[in-house]
Structure 1
Amino acid sequence: MEASGEPARGSTVNLLWTGGWDSTFRLLQLLLTHRVPVAPYYLEDPTRASTQVELETMVCIGERLRAMYPHTRDLLGPIRVASVGDVVDDDEINAALREIRRRSFIGSQYAWLPAFCKHHAIGDMELGVHVDDKVQALVRPYAQQFDHPDGYSSVRVDSRHADTAEYRLFRYFSFPLFAIDKVGIDRQAQAEGWGEIMDMTWFCHTPVRGRPCGTCAPCLYTIEEGLARRVPASRRVISWFYRHLALPLKAPLRRIRARLRGGHGSRPAAPGVGRP
């Protein structure tokens, strides 16, 4: 099943919402600034320790929104939860991801996110891709700005690049936050009076006693992109040591493991390099 075409004016906006910083800001823009109906989607990954926290965060934010802004009761639809394990594998999308990963690493979610959209004929799922995001840099050479029928601008991959892996992988998405970074989001949210709700958002993948760990990828990005205040001070100290001492060793160790697996299966691993 192929994705549908451009959205019509007044149609419901499909938004990938995780309860995180970027997607929640976009939710607030849609509900409070543009006042358009939103269908929030969440793809549940049971292997991730933060899944339940993210779901609870979204419920709490939804309740707060409906209490503070009663008009959102008619605009914010129920969260459409799907399991990553139920997403149908797609050969074209997997091949495009492999091709892109030969040039630039992006996460495994870009196998199942576009496959989910393709299978459900969703042609304009909004993603919170922003400045400093790896995907933003990857998509930028192929990006085209367009005017949404509901009166705002967004970005998508230009169909003139239909022969590229980038188009095959990202054709199902639009990127309304393409030109703003996390600090810019913070400034805009504060100016709009949305700070209370934004502070409810969650980002850590491996929480420690219910608080951000400081060492998972979202925590590292949060610190590096100017919002270190969102990570507890004690975890920021741990994060500093992790980023400056442990993290630089990970890539060389991965390369050593790959070489050992690839051509020297009968040889023992090098000292200190275990096999998973």
Structure 2
Amino acid sequence: MNKVTLLWSGGWDGTFRFLELMQHEDIEIQPIYVIDPGRESTPYEKKAMKKIIFEASKRFPAKVRDIQFYERDWILQNCKNEKISNAFRYLRKNYSIGTQYEWFALLCDKLNIKMESAVVHQYHGKVEDAIHAEGKLELIENDFLPERYCVKKAGEKNTAFLVFGDLILPVIKLSKEDEEKIARQNGWLDIMKYTWFCHTPIHGKPCGLCSPCDDAMNTGMEWRMPRCAQFRYKNRKFFRLIRAIKRKIGIR
């Protein structure tokens, strides 16, 4: 039985990879969810993961372990590694990569394991820019699963390796539309529809104002957005201003 540790938050890309892995009867999946206390979407993401695991386990053979939860602040306090954090700060300054990649790198280092992360080129272009400029992307040799990529050093450059070296990137050559097509062809697009993506939901629905909602509207996923969210997106300057004013005076 091969074990795969998967960083997952109930989103589209991570769920696509989860369902890919679920097709293998000789695989045991260990999901890991990193809790960001600043995100209002945490309960929605947890609910999505629970529903997806329940539905997938009825249809597909892989085994799924209970989700392991790690708090962002716990990671930053208990998994310190200055080399990793310095490399992350360099990449964030020069390529604007997301803050979560520091947490992931520190956690991998602390647990001494490699984790899959569902980075797709369409959504995480800044990550690809950082990897290609500061390291190199290579297929894992003699792997028990196909098409899994890892980050290696490029000559003396090691910043990308320090941050991404413990991450396995199995879907980095795909786009969200590719994932939708594959899911439809394989008969599990219905489960993909349980995914959650919005960081700041309004009345339990996508807001149309956060970065993941922007991505949904610009990566062929606008069908996932209700009309009210699409309306807010089209008038996002106004609605973002209103939201900022409400937060400033303490209204959620």
SS of residue in 2 equivalent to 1:153: coil
1:32-84 CA-partner distances (Å, limit 9, x unpaired):
15752111100112221001111111111111112233x34xx1111111111
| 1:147 Cα deviation after fit | 4.0
Query: Is this contact kept in 2: 1:161–1:167, CA < 8 A?
Result: no
Choose which of 8, 12, 35 in structure 2 pairs with 1:21: 12
Secondary structure of the 2:204 match is coil
Counterpart residue identity of residue 194, structure 1? W
Q: Is the 8 A contact 2:232 2:239 kept in 1?
A: no
Q: Is there any run of 5+ residues in structure 1 with no aligned partner, and where?
A: 1-9, 250-273
The answer on whether the counterparts of 1:90 and 1:115 sit within 8 Å (CA) in structure 2 is: yes
Matches of 1:45 and 1:34, distance apart in 2: 32
Q: Quick check: 2:95–2:129 contact (8 Å CA) kept in 1?
A: no
Provide the secondary structure at the position in 2 that maps to 1:42.
strand
Q: Is the 8 A contact 2:35 2:69 kept in 1?
A: yes
Structure 2: which 5+ residue stretches go unaligned?
242-247
User: Taking structure 1 as reference, are residues 208 and 35 closer, same or farther at Cα in structure 2, changes over 3 Å only?
Assistant: farther
| Structure 1 residues 222 and 161: CA distance shift in structure 2, 3 A | farther
For 1:126, the equivalent position in structure 2 comes to 116
Structure 1 position 234, deviation (Å): 1.9
Measure, in 2, the Cα distance between the counterparts of 1:35 and 1:207. 37
Which of 37, 40, 47 aligns to 1:49? It is 40
- Shift >3 Å, 4+ stretches: 159-163
Q: 8 Å contact 1:34–1:150 — kept in the other structure?
A: no
What letter corresponds to residue 54 of structure 1 in structure 2?
Answer: E
- 1:136 aligns with 128
Aligned residues: 235
Larger radius of gyration: 1
Amino acid at match of 1:98: R
User: Would you say the 8 A contact 2:92–2:98 is kept in 1?
Assistant: no
Instruction: Return the TM-score normalized by structure 1.
Output: 0.79
The 5-angstrom pairing of residues 1-276 of structure 1 reads: 10-33=1-24, 35-69=26-60, 71-72=61-62, 75-87=63-75, 88-122=79-113, 124-132=114-122, 133=124, 134-141=126-133, 142-147=136-141, 149-161=143-155, 163-242=157-236
Q: How far, CA to CA, are the matches of 1:185 and 1:177 in structure 2?
A: 9
- Residue 224 (structure 1) shift: 0.9
Query: Which residue type is aligned with residue 118 of structure 2?
Result: G
1:12 to partner: Cα distance: 0.3
Distance (whole Å) between structure 1 residues aligned to residue 154 and residue 199 of structure 2: 36
Cα distance in 2 for residues equivalent to 1:85 and 1:159:
29
The offset of 1:148, in angstroms, is 5.4
Deviation at 1:174, TM superposition (A): 1.1
Contact kept in structure 2, 1:162 and 1:168, CA below 8 Å? no
Name the CA distance, whole Å, in 2 between partners of 1:137 and 1:11. 31
Query: Percent same amino acid among aligned pairs?
Result: 29
Equivalent pair of 1:14/1:41 in contact (CA under 8 Å): yes
Say whether the 8 Å CA contact 1:147–1:154 is kept in structure 2.
Answer: no
Is the 2:120–2:173 Cα contact (8 Å) retained in structure 1?
yes
CA-atom RMSD in angstroms = 2.1
* TM-score, scaled relative to structure 2: 0.86
Q: Match of 1:140, SS?
A: helix
Contact 1:44 1:82 survives alignment (8 Å): yes
